[in-house]
Structure 1
Amino acid sequence: MTDKQIENGSVFIALLVHVSGAIGILFTGYKHWFVAFTPLNLLLMLFLLIANQRKRNKAFWMYAALCFAIGMVTEMIGVHTGWLFGDYVYGKVMGIQLAGVPLLIGVYWFVVVFCSGTIMRFVIERLFRVFTYMHGFFDRRSVRIVMVIDGAILAMCFDLIMEPTAIKLGFWHWDAIKVPVYNYLCWFLVSAGLLTVFQYMDFYKKNHFAVHLFIIQALFFLVLSLYL
């Protein structure tokens, strides 16, 4: 199969899974059955994301492992101390846990941050073509700073969209009535740190499926948050 065929097939599968999931949760009596398949859904999306990653070199795997590790450690600190994100606990929906944190949360940190970094890479490259005649407008340091800040905002906004649905479906529970603003601040800071590493590690960063996946999942959570 060609890279384009793999991408198109992956987008079709992602759409099929998320559309059927939204319909099953919102309009059938099998809501809990669909929610129970959340771990399988996330693992499938991870597989598709990796399948669409060209040149899966050592740096790519190291970055994936770093995102997983940092995501797990920061979440463990949050769950056990409240020093990061706030006071919350995870439910059983997302499967096997380590020290109170589902292993899939580490996977999700990689997926969200990698997709955010990839999207910003595409956006900046398009802007570069438009403003390339402006001398000094896009020096390397400025580009990296913009990518990190905007990518972290994008990741934070994804969490903002996801939170209402995740709470209703029992992914996790907050001690507070409302999600604390501190949670989003921590999302921004952790994402910014991981995206800084993203800029400097030498691996292929033009994964088109990552853009599609981010949009599909954001729309999925947005629809559920509005109608669930």
Structure 2
Amino acid sequence: MPDITSIAVPVARKYRKYALPLAIGILVLFHGVGFWGLLYSGRPAYFQAYTPLNLLLTNALLFAFHRRWNSKFVIFALIVFAIGFFSEVIGVHTGLIFGSYSYGATLGTKVWDVPLLIGLNWLMLVYTTGHISNLARLPKLLKAILGAALMVLLDYFIEPVATRFDFWRWQGEIPVSNFIGWFWVALLLQIYFQLTEMFKQNRLSYVVYLVQLVFFIGLFVHL
């Protein structure tokens, strides 16, 4: 009887070249369907309900392309998740950091009035923008500033979309303090990204950020 491993490994290597195009295709397909559903289907609430699934799928694909799942990466992921999540907890309950806001039902299960997926979203954004900023030949601090700026850029287009589709809601207009708070929390996490010695090559990270940016810009201009 042949060794299964001796068969599986060559097969996996043969089809590995298709993994990235397939992942990109899935990302584009799911975001494209979501875009159409929210704007043109006539049933935006139906497609809103699939927002957590879309976010989980995006993260699953992204981190499937991360290599070297060692303790340094796991600790990084847990710390970024925790800081992102608890900064939102503080924000929701005190109005500090970002301003006065509350979360709707779209993003799913909440703990202390904050969806658990928000911590995962912080991790995804820090990770992808950190990889993009590493493309620049800059000192680590400037890379961290660039990564934080990319996060704020995306958030600028997310905010009006989020309030329209019940991700979260503001008490009044979207305050400037939100973007200032986002920048400083993002900068802290980007500095951590630059200083940690985990493996920092992920071919899908650039695509994930770009797809998110195009998706939210598209929704933004149609509001």
Relative to the length of structure 2, the TM-score reads 0.91
Q: Is the 8 A contact 1:88 1:173 kept in 2?
A: yes
Partner of residue 166 from structure 2, selected from 159, 170, 175: 170
Instruction: Give the C-alpha shift of residue 226 in structure 1.
Output: 1.0
Aligned alpha-carbon RMSD (Å): 1.2
Structure 2 residue 176 is the aligned partner of structure 1 residue 181: yes
Partner of residue 194 from structure 1, selected from 189, 214, 221: 189
Residue 34 of structure 1 aligns with which residue?
A: 47
Instruction: Give the C-alpha shift of residue 145 in structure 1.
Output: 1.1
Q: Which runs of no fewer than 5 residues in structure 2 stay unpaired? A: 1-11
Residue 68 of structure 1 aligns with which residue?
A: 81
Q: Which runs of no fewer than 5 residues in structure 1 stay unpaired? A: 129-137
Partner of residue 151 from structure 1, selected from 147, 150, 170: 147
**Deviation per residue, 1:49-82 (Å, 9 max, x gap):** 1101112221111111111100111000000000
Q: Is the 8 A contact 1:6 1:52 kept in 2?
A: no
Instruction: Give the C-alpha shift of residue 227 in structure 1.
Output: 1.1
Instruction: Give the C-alpha shift of residue 8 in structure 1.
Output: 1.6
Q: Distance in 2 between matches of 1:145 and 1:160?
A: 23
Residue 131 of structure 1 aligns with which residue?
A: none
Instruction: Give the C-alpha shift of residue 37 in structure 1.
Output: 0.3
**Deviation per residue, 1:68-116 (Å, 9 max, x gap):** 1001110000000001100000001110000000000000000011111
Runs of 4+ in 1 over 4 A off after TM superposition: none
Partner of residue 30 from structure 2, selected from 3, 17, 21: 17
Q: Is the 8 A contact 1:85 1:184 kept in 2?
A: yes
Relative to the length of structure 1, the TM-score reads 0.89
Q: Distance in 1 between matches of 2:19 and 2:193?
A: 24
Q: Distance in 1 between matches of 2:70 and 2:134?
A: 19
Q: Distance in 2 between matches of 1:144 and 1:196?
A: 8
Q: Distance in 2 between matches of 1:169 and 1:85?
A: 19
Q: Distance in 2 between matches of 1:169 and 1:94?
A: 10
Q: Distance in 2 between matches of 1:10 and 1:36?
A: 22
Q: Distance in 2 between matches of 1:83 and 1:227?
A: 31
Instruction: Give the C-alpha shift of residue 27 in structure 1.
Output: 1.1
Query: Which letter does structure 2 place at the counterpart of 1:171?
Result: F
Q: Distance in 2 between matches of 1:52 and 1:205?
A: 11
Residue 9 of structure 2 aligns with which residue?
A: none
**Deviation per residue, 1:7-27 (Å, 9 max, x gap):** 221111000000111011111
Instruction: Give the C-alpha shift of residue 219 in structure 1.
Output: 0.6
SS in 1 for 2:134: helix
Q: Is the 8 A contact 1:77 1:83 kept in 2?
A: yes
